[in-house]
Amino acid sequence: MEFELQARGSSRSAGNPTRIFLVVDEQPMVRHGFALSIGEICPGTRVLEAGSLDEALDIGRKTPELALVLYDPGPPRLDDADAGGGGAIDGLRRLKEALGGVPVLILTNSDEVADIVDSVRMGARGYVLKTSPPEVLEHAISLALSGDVFLPLPRAVLNGALSEGPRGNDDILDRLTDRQRDVFELLLAGHSNKEIARGLGVLEGTVKVHVRAIMQKLGVRNRTQVAVVAARNGCFNGEG
C-alpha cells in the first residue's frame, strides 16, 4: 500500500524529487496511522507500507530510491530462540544487509535499555517509542536523514540510575562536572542541542562545548557511542 500526502499551504519545488519512506508493522491500522503521521510531518513524501519483514525486503529490492525505513520488529516470539534467528535484532540485521546505507528507525513499544543498545549496535539510526508524541517522531526522522542517531531513553530509568549511581567498574559520572551531568542526562534522553539549551537556560554553543567535553572524557566520537558506554557502565539500571 502506498500514498502521498501534502500539508495544506505547502508545496514542493519542481526540482525536488519525492522522498520514499517505508513503514514496516504487522498491524495494518498501526502502520497506516504512522504512514498518515509521516505524511503530515514530511509533506509530499511517498509512504509505502509492509506487513512483514519479508514484504519489506521485497519492497526494498524493488525500490532503490528508498530514503528511510521505519521498522517495528514486533514482540519477541517463543520460536525466535528455538529457531536461532535472533528475533528482532536478526530482522534489523537482514534489513541493513539488504538495504545497504538506507537508514532504519525502530518503532516499538519496548523501552528496555538492552533493546535500545542492541539496536544501535546493529546500525539503527534511532529508536522511537510508539507512545511518543508526533514531535518526537519528526525529530527522529530529521536526525536519521541527516546521518545522526536518535536515542530516547525513559526518564524514569535515567532518574533511577542517576540517583543510584553507576554500577560498572568505571564510574563515568565522576568524570563529569555537575553541568556536564545535566547535559549528559538530557543527551541520553534523546534531546537535541537546541532542546538541551532551552531546558537548561543556556546558549546552544555552550551545550556544544559540554557535549564535546563529555565525549572526550568518555573517549567516544558520537551520541550513539555515549549511550553504549553509559549502558556498559551500568547507568541504566541494566547489566553493567
* Full pLDDT tens readout for the chain, 240 residues: 544 443 333 334 444 568 999 999 999 999 999 999 998 888 889 999 999 999 999 999 999 999 999 999 876 543 343 333 345 678 888 999 999 889 999 998 887 767 777 787 788 888 888 888 888 899 899 989 988 888 765 444 444 444 444 444 346 778 888 899 899 888 877 788 888 999 999 999 999 999 988 888 887 777 777 777 776 666 654 333
User: DSSP class of residue 172?
Assistant: G
Q: Return d(Cα 136, Cα 30) in angstroms, integer.
A: 17
Q: Return d(Cα 127, Cα 118) in angstroms, integer.
A: 11
Q: Return d(Cα 60, Cα 110) in angstroms, integer.
A: 25
User: DSSP class of residue 56?
Assistant: H
Q: Return d(Cα 146, Cα 160) in angstroms, integer.
A: 32
Residue 225: what are its φ and ψ, rounded to 5°?
Answer: -70, -30
Q: Return d(Cα 172, Cα 214) in angstroms, integer.
A: 10
Query: Which has the closest alpha carbon to 122: 139, 145, 146, 99?
Result: 99
Predicted confidence at residue 95, as pLDDT, reads 92
The three-point CA angle 130-141-143 to 5° equals: 125
pTM of the entire predicted model = 0.60
Predicted confidence at residue 22, as pLDDT, reads 96
Q: Return d(Cα 58, Cα 56) in angstroms, integer.
A: 5
Query: Which has the closest alpha carbon to 126: 111, 141, 110?
Result: 141
CB 226 within 8 A of CB 214: yes
CB 38 within 8 A of CB 23: yes
